[in-house]
């Protein structure tokens, strides 16, 4: 894949791992096992207006920090916050209960985080522009990006990971 590098946080060989796409095989190769995670979970929070809107994000992140929940991707606005986190069942249950005291919380299990990094020699808005049309038929749960960094992070359901990879391979060949 000549213009993009793909990395993923997902389930590989039964464990949560950081993986890089191998350009030759077209498969993700695990680089680092994340021992503290048993699964990845996408959480979408909407304020119940139990806390001031300017404190909503601060409080949500505080709960995740207090329970030592890792954050792999996040996006926010004034009244909502989406995050991909990992952890065991017990910690997730405690976090869900605490977050529910001030937010409507939706959980989705079996998700993957795919980071699309545009190569520096083709740097520009290419990644963001192409993603919209490229992924139009895949239900993307969350998109976050660093403005001007040439990096976009996608959260998709695990069953859609291979579709995303295949689309990038077709476009970049």
Secondary structure (H, E, C), the chain? CCCEEEEEEEEECCEEEEEEECCCCCCEEEEEECCCCCEEEEEEEEECCCCCHHHHHHHHHHHHHHCCCCEEEEEECCCEEEEEEEECHHHHHHHHHHHCCCEEEEEEECEEEEEEEECHHHCCCHHHHHHHHHCCCCCEEEEEEECCCCEEEEEEEHHHHHHHHHHHHHHHC
- Write the pLDDT tens digit of every residue in 46-56: 999 877 777 88
Its pTM stands at 0.83
Contact 85, 9 (CB under 8 A): no
- Write the pLDDT tens digit of every residue in 127-167: 455 666 778 889 999 988 776 667 788 999 999 988 888 88
Percent of the chain with pLDDT over 90: 39
Average pLDDT over the chain reads 83
Tokens of 78: 């004034």
């Amino acid at each position: 894949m000549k213009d993009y590098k793909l990395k993923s946080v997902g389930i590989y060989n039964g464990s949560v791992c950081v993986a890089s796409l191998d350009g030759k095989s077209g498969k993700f190769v695990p680089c680092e096992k994340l021992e503290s995670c048993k699964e990845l979970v996408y959480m979408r929070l909407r304020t119940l207006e139990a806390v001031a809107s300017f404190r909503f994000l601060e409080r949500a992140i505080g709960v995740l920090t207090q329970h030592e929940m890792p954050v792999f991707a996040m996006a926010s606005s004034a009244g909502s916050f989406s995050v991909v986190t990992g952890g065991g069942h017990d910690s997730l249950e405690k976090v869900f209960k605490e977050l529910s005291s001030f937010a409507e919380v939706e959980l989705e299990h079996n998700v993957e985080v795919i980071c699309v990094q545009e190569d520096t020699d083709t740097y520009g808005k290419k990644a963001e522009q192409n993603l919209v049309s490229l992924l139009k038929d895949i239900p993307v749960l969350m998109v976050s990006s660093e403005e001007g960094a040439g990096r976009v992070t996608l959260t998709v359901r695990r069953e859609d990971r291979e579709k995303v990879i295949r689309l990038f391979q077709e476009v970049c060949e």
